[in-house]
Structure 1
């Protein structure tokens, strides 16, 4: 609950993980760990995050839904986001980062091949009616490859 609400509130405020980290004097990796449920902020950090994001600690922890009105309003006010902001969202997630790593620098031919492979894979999933399960993350796969 905390990880989802923290990410929602951060995005509603229009902040990147790095910007939020600067405001609470920590690292982008720490914020990423909180948002990906790899770690939990200590109480003093939780209070700082709530203050900066203008929500209550009770809302962040899922004890109340009172903060939801603010987040929905802020999200609506944010309106259309730039392509850079959308891309930053993907880069903030370690799994998406590893998936997208090198894509922007790839040649047009390489990009076409990646997209073609992706569409074929999605088509195979549909024809096999594969139910989505929780596969290992790209980060986990990468770490496993580094070990070998």
Structure 2
């Protein structure tokens, strides 16, 4: 559970294993060992990882599905955000929704192929120093067509 959630949280934050390792003063190999379930982080490292990744240690350990706790500014009360709420933020864009919907319905082999293609594409962008600019969404394109 820890290994999967650690990897998920790291990728959600857009960090590489090396970048995460730098944030918690360890090595890429150590992070890789945690993510591949070859070793388990000690308590102080677990706290550091949770802090950097903006998740709770309970979520990392699989004790809860509440990903993160945050403080409400006016009251100082703690409120838990569920995975559903965080996912909803990601799928508010229609393009993201249709992509995620198709991805979630894909077979494991199809998901592996999609991920492999995505990582290769990101590597090519870095090598070519291509700026990642957000193209117009499907929603924006259809709205423009409707206006014409």
Partner of 1:72: 87
Partner of 2:79: none
Q: Work out whether 1:24 is the aligned partner of 2:20.
A: no
Name stretches of at least 5 consecutive residues in structure 2 with no aligned partner: 68-81, 100-115, 124-148
Deviation for aligned residue 1:45:
0.1
Deviations 1:98-146 (CA, angstroms, capped at 9, x unpaired): xxxxxxxxxxxxxxxxxxxxxxxxxxxxxxxxxxxxxxxxxxxxxxxxx
Where do residues 126-141 of structure 1 align in structure 2 (5 Å cutoff)? Answer: none
> Cα RMSD over matched residues?
3.1
Partner of 1:86: 119
Partner of 1:12: 12
**Separation of aligned partners in 2, 1:59 and 1:10:** 13
Deviation for aligned residue 1:86:
1.1
Q: Which structure's residues are more often strand, by fraction?
A: 2
Q: Which structure's residues are more often helix, by fraction?
A: 1
Higher RCO (CA-CA < 8 Å; seq separation 6+): 1
**What is the TM-score with the length of structure 2 in the denominator?**
0.50
**What is the TM-score with the length of structure 1 in the denominator?**
0.50
Name stretches of at least 5 consecutive residues in structure 1 with no aligned partner: 91-148
**Separation of aligned partners in 2, 1:24 and 1:74:** 27
Is the CA contact (8 Å cut-off) linking 1:12 and 1:74 kept in structure 2?
no
Q: Which runs of 4+ in 1 moved over 4 A?
A: 73-77
